[in-house]
């Protein structure tokens, strides 16, 4: 190979790197598949062996957020990691974005994969789906981890820290969709940067590319907006759920520079056995900002004896 051709190949590879970096990699030992459940096609990853744990992602992210944790849990658990309805590789359905229905999606997926008893972990919107899951299927849920956001309809929820961005929860419809089309990355930078304690230690550049690309596809932004549009219905549903306190163990992880103790106190209103931990120095993106603190706590809680 002559020197000129070699130089061209190197240049081409360098130019191709940003595009390649946008593709999420499947953790070793996991497989990806799709299942049609509860009227929606749900994309998911699964791996490991043992008791089942389900990991539920939040807004501005996809199931990819859990990839650093998945191999650790797979040594002791069967790990199921779906993209929620409307997100990532899952179907962008016309409706069904209330958290009660989204939890029914996850439950139907768990059943289709041949399982009944589960442990559930949720971050951000995922924690709302996790709570809706355990509230509807308490006899089938062994342990629950809720990570930094809030529960609509529970306690003084309208004064939570995240509601400083109230404009965003009403940001849906034809005009907002036109404004963000082709500018998805610009829109998400606000959340990744401003909800972090330090924007330079928030969601990585490689992951930002993955998430922006995922939401830009096939009506992903509309689906995301619908998740917030349904908060009013979620508040009604959760107020009913909260009338029955849950018995299984809960672990609540919250960022010191984000939710603080708010979610911990909310969870105590809906559950009897709650352990709360505020992660020092962290903002909202716990798996990105404080991974070394958060992952050991998740693993320890899920591996605790007794269930």
Which has the closest alpha carbon to 242: 178, 138, 153? Answer: 153
Start-to-end C-alpha separation, the chain: 62
Q: pLDDT at position 159, please?
A: 72
User: Residue 78's beta-bridge partner residues?
Assistant: 48, 52
- Cα–Cα distance for residue pair 2/243, rounded to 1 Å: 75
Asked whether 294 and 66 are in contact (CB, 8 A), the reply is: no
Q: What is the pLDDT along the chain (307 residues), one digit of tens a residue?
A: 444 434 333 333 333 333 333 457 899 999 999 999 999 999 999 999 999 999 999 999 999 999 999 999 999 999 999 999 999 999 999 999 999 999 999 999 999 999 999 999 999 999 999 999 999 999 999 999 999 999 999 998 877 655 566 677 778 788 989 999 999 999 999 999 999 999 999 999 999 999 999 999 999 999 999 999 999 999 999 999 999 999 999 999 999 999 899 999 999 999 999 999 999 999 999 999 999 999 999 999 999 986 5
CB atoms within 10 A of CB 17: 9
- Dist. CA 214–CA 61, nearest whole Å: 9
β-bridge pairing 52-56 and 30-37: unpaired
pLDDT score, position 307: 54
Backbone phi, psi, residue 80, to 5°: -110, 125
Q: Rounded distance, CA 269 to CA 122, Å?
A: 18
pLDDT at 215: 97
The answer to whether the predicted template modeling score (pTM) of the entire model surpasses 0.85 is: yes
């Amino acid at each position: 190979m002559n020197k000129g051709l070699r130089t061209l190949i190197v240049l081409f590879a360098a130019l191709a790197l940003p595009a390649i970096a946008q593709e999420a990699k499947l953790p070793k030992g996991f497989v990806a598949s799709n299942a049609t459940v509860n009227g929606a096609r749900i994309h998911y990853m699964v791996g490991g062996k043992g008791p089942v744990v389900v990991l539920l992602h939040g807004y501005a992210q996809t199931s990819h957020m859990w990839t650093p944790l998945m191999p650790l849990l797979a040594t002791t658990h069967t790990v199921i990691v779906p993209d929620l309805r409307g997100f990532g590789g899952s179907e962008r359905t016309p409706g069904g974005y209330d958290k009660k229905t989204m939890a029914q999606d996850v439950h139907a997926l768990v059943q289709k994969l041949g399982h009944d008893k589960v442990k559930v972990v949720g971050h951000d919107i995922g924690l709302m789906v996790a709570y809706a899951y355990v509230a509807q299927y308490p006899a089938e849920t062994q342990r629950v981890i809720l990570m930094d956001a809030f529960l609509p309809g529970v306690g003084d929820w309208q004064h939570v820290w995240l509601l400083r961005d109230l404009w965003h929860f009403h940001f849906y419809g034809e005009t907002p969709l036109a404004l963000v089309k082709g500018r998805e990355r610009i829109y998400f930078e606000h959340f990744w940067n401003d909800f972090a304690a330090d924007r330079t230690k928030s969601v990585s550049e490689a992951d930002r590319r993955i998430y922006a690309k995922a939401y830009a596809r096939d009506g992903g932004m509309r689906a995301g907006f619908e998740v917030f549009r349904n908060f009013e219905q979620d508040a009604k549903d959760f107020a009913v759920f909260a009338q029955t306190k849950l018995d299984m163990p809960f672990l609540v992880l919250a960022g010191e520079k984000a939710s603080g103790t708010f979610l911990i106190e909310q969870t105590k209103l809906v559950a009897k056995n709650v352990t709360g931990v505020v992660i020092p120095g962290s903002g909202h993106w716990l798996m990105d900002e404080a991974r070394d603190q958060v992952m050991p706590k998740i693993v320890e809680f899920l591996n605790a004896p007794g269930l």
